[in-house]
Chains A and B, each alone.
Chain A
Amino acid sequence: MAGLVTRPGVRDLPERQGRAVASRGTARMPHRRRPRGLALPLLGLTPFAAYVVLFLAIPTALAVATGFFTKGGAPTLDNVVGLFTPTVLGTFVSSAWISALTAVLGAVIGALVCYALLGLPEEGVIRRTVEAGSSVLAQFGGIMLAFAFIATIGVQGVLTVWLKGIGVDIFADGVWIYQVPGLIPVYLYFQVPLMVITFLPAMEGLKVQWAEANATLGGTRLGYWTRIAAPVLAPSFAGTLLLLFANAFSSYATAAALISQGAQIVPLQIRSALRSETVLGRENMAGALALGMVVVMVVVMSLYSVLQRRTSRWQR
């Protein structure tokens, strides 16, 4: 490496240039490219870098930082302290439990679907339809999803009316669809498909030979699933569970369309803070709430990437 660095003709960024040449091997016409140096290609990276700085780095930094300032620009900890008031903590708790519940239910149902798909030909109609349908529905958040559920289990929904016809009133204890519990079936509608598309590759990593070996050695079917498949799938399952949690935790549009009043979960609290319906008399509360969400998301996603690394071992 050191020898390469001192080659003649390398002017700017000698070390990088040296390494780039070294990694490609020495046989390739070194004369042609060298004189131009790296300035021009590096310039090629600037549009993307500028774009990401302007529309990802700065907004994220602003979102997280504004929580530490007053509207006037003076530094304050009021907003961050505001995170620990009972009202705001309550929204974090309801966000967390609804995310956790829909993640667990979504993961279990999704894993069952993946199991049901095992052994079907990859090019077959069923596999294709389930995969395409899942990738659409995993993206199917927002307003349209809210419409679908209002049409199904809204006050005049198809299912509501039909169940009433056979004597079951799903809203006997009040209309819960426009409350936090109403989000459970709605969120499941994108959680299960997300589970299917992310967990299916792991399920397919199970080799039939392992089951054969198990059977040959006198193992039972239950033994195969609990003692071979489960440990292999565990990191992937846990990872996807975290992904589902993060997915529900950060989801805003569906809740916004269903719950038009109030701020029962964190994203809705950010909505009312942004619309300057002052939360608890604190300015820039949106920034502090954003900070709280980012902290949760970073923790969840780091755990996810750790588990992901363990998973990839079995997917070769």
Chain B
Amino acid sequence: MSARSGAVAIGAQPGRVARIVILGVVGLAFAVPVLAMVQFTFRAGLAGGLTLSHWTGLVDADAGRTYRSLFQAVGNSGVLVLVTVAIVLVVLLPTMVLVHLRFRRFERVLEIVCIVPITVPAIVLVVGLAPVYGVVVRVLGGSVWTLAFAYGITVLPYAYRAIRSSMDAVDLTTLTEAARTLSAGWPAIMVRVIVPVLRRGILAAAFIAVAVVLGEFTIASLLNRVNLQTALLQVSQSDPYVAVIFALLALALAFVLLLSIGRLGAAPRARAPRARKAPA
């Protein structure tokens, strides 16, 4: 405690009042729009007054019919989430492992490729994706899951960083060599050594993929596909209350997912000693 107040005295850290004022003001400014959304979902129309009917309407007997397009869009986004996560796990992860173990000198190239989507915004990518999807539709049909190919690209920088940071924390080469010495084959090494060792990074990558895909609007909208976000915009024109409710739910889900990534990152330091005593 005294060390900290010393740091405050010499100016390295903010004082109590400064901290409270800054965090309070900024926190309030950021809380207001979210609270306004919550309040909005209880409004009884322009006349004023509050009602629960927008929320109860969702679990109504005929809600399935009224909001069919919205529920369908949630389904679409669910499929897109699954396929995008699959792309990360089946295409990106093995490549990163392979490059790390056998093609070290490609590592820099791989990193640059994975960071490129930050420089090419979705709105630019979609201009070139339109003709590409003309071909994709002819080959694979027009079902919504094909959109996940584009989402895999937009997720690439985040997924790469998440997996890379947990890769840097362990010595994969030694671990795989040890496994090979014990006569494990590559499939066994992948499933029983690499995936468990990298699980934190893999989970983080998957969670970020979920958050990004659930929030994606640009590509779906300009390629005329239906996902959660495009449906929300459509519904908001006829029933803004339900649109805001779904937006809040998606936001809450993203918050829980990203909070648990934070937990994943913090877990080892807190848990390691206990785990040794009583392995689960």
- Which residues of A line the B interface, CB within 8 A? 19-20, 23-24, 28, 38, 41, 44-45, 47-48, 51-52, 54-56, 58-64, 66, 109, 112-113, 115-120, 122-123, 126, 128, 130-133, 135-137, 139-144, 147-149, 151-152, 156-159, 189, 192-193, 206, 208, 210-212, 214-215, 220-222, 224-225, 246, 249-253, 256-257, 267, 270-271, 274, 286-287, 289-290, 293-294, 297-298, 301
The answer to whether the Cβ of B14 comes within 8 Å of any Cβ in the partner chain is yes
Chain B residues positioned under 8 Å from A117 (CB to CB): 23
Q: Which of B210-262 contact A (CB under 8 A)?
A: 211-212, 215-218, 221-222, 229, 232-233, 236, 240, 243-244, 247, 250-251, 254-255, 258-259, 261-262
Q: Interface segment, B29-37, B53-61, B195-203?
A: B29-37
Contact B123 A267 (CB under 8 A): yes
Task: Determine the residue in chain B with the shortest Cβ distance to A47.
Answer: B91
Chain A residues positioned under 8 Å from B117 (CB to CB): 56
CA distance A193 to B255 in the complex (A): 13
Contact check: which of A62, A115, A271 meets B14 at CB < 8 Å?
A115
Given the known A-B contacts A115-B14, A144-B232, A144-B251, are A60 and B258 also in contact in the complex, defined by CB atoms under 8 Å? no
Chain B residues positioned under 8 Å from A63 (CB to CB): 120, 124-128
- Report the minimal beta-carbon distance from B90 to chain A, rounded to whole angstroms: 8
- Which residues of B line the A interface, CB within 8 A? 4, 6-14, 18-19, 22-23, 26, 30, 32-37, 39-40, 46, 87, 90-92, 94-95, 98-99, 102-106, 113, 116-132, 149-150, 152-153, 156, 173, 177, 211-212, 215-218, 221-222, 229, 232-233, 236, 240, 243-244, 247, 250-251, 254-255, 258-259, 261-262, 266, 270
If over half of B's interface residues share one DSSP class (helix, strand or loop), that class is named, otherwise mixed; here it is helix
Given the known A-B contacts A48-B92, A253-B229, are A144 and B132 also in contact in the complex, defined by CB atoms under 8 Å? no
Chain A residues positioned under 8 Å from B233 (CB to CB): 143, 257
Given the known A-B contacts A44-B98, A151-B40, A257-B233, are A113 and B262 also in contact in the complex, defined by CB atoms under 8 Å? no
- Report the minimal beta-carbon distance from B255 to chain A, rounded to whole angstroms: 5
Contact check: which of B18, B116, B124 meets A290 at CB < 8 Å?
B124
Contact A270 B127 (CB under 8 A): yes
CA distance A98 to B218 in the complex (A): 20
Contact B119 A189 (CB under 8 A): no
- Report the minimal beta-carbon distance from B216 to chain A, rounded to whole angstroms: 8
- Report the minimal beta-carbon distance from B210 to chain A, rounded to whole angstroms: 11
